[in-house]
């Protein structure tokens, strides 16, 4: 998975927020704590530091959504994080991102915090991020 492929899928999937650039993905992939799993159709990017895993982003290209790929990527990255020593997993999600929240709830994540005004939105102004945890992963 190259930074170009990641940026392409990310830009196609994220219609509500600023897409991450090729340079941003390249930087993330250069970080020894960052891992990527999946293919161009659907991928997950995450970090594992000591016993804590964090999902940085997950995206399924719109042409492939609602076919079970996102669920598979969640299972894949969690299994990889566990094999690397993680015992719990965190993520954050915009409070208006109902598809992602449904996916995370289905994967056993529960809310554990809120970041006020974390995500910019053109039409509605800033909205909160919900922080979610799965413990044990």
Ligand X SMILES: CC(C)(COP(=O)(O)OP(=O)(O)OC[C@H]1O[C@@H](n2cnc3c(N)ncnc32)[C@H](O)[C@@H]1OP(=O)(O)O)[C@@H](O)C(=O)NCCC(=O)NCCS
* Binding-site ranges for ligand X (CB under 6 A): 13-14, 42, 57-60, 65-71, 93, 97-100, 102-103, 106
Q: How far is the CB of 19 from ligand X (least distance, A)?
A: 10
Given the complex with ligand X, which of 22 and 100 has the nearer CB atom?
100
Both tokens assigned to 126: 């800033």
The Cα 52–Cα 6 span in angstroms is 24
Q: How far is the CB of 30 from ligand X (least distance, A)?
A: 22
Kind and range of the H or E run holding 34: strand 34-39
Which residue in the shown chain puts its C-beta closest to ligand X?
70
Neighbours of 4 (CB within 10 A): 12
Given the complex with ligand X, which of 85 and 121 has the nearer CB atom?
121
Given the complex with ligand X, which of 4 and 85 has the nearer CB atom?
4
The Cα 13–Cα 59 span in angstroms is 6
Q: How far is the CB of 98 from ligand X (least distance, A)?
A: 6
Both tokens assigned to 22: 């090729």
Cβ(29)–Cβ(7) below 8 Å: no
Q: How far is the CB of 55 from ligand X (least distance, A)?
A: 7
């Amino acid at each position: 998975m190259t930074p170009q492929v990641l940026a392409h899928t990310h830009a196609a999937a994220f219609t509500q927020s600023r897409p991450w650039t090729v340079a941003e993905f390249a930087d993330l992939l250069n970080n020894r704590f960052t891992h990527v799993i999946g293919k161009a159709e659907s991928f997950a990017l995450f970090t594992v530091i000591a016993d804590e895993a964090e999902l940085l982003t997950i995206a399924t290209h719109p042409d492939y959504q609602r076919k079970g790929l996102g669920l598979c990527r969640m299972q894949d990255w969690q299994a990889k994080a566990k094999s690397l020593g993680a015992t719990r997993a965190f993520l954050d999600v915009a409070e208006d991102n109902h598809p992602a929240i449904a996916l995370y709830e289905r994967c056993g994540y529960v809310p554990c915090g809120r970041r006020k005004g974390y995500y910019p939105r053109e039409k509605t102004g800033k909205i909160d991020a919900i922080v979610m945890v799965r413990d044990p992963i």
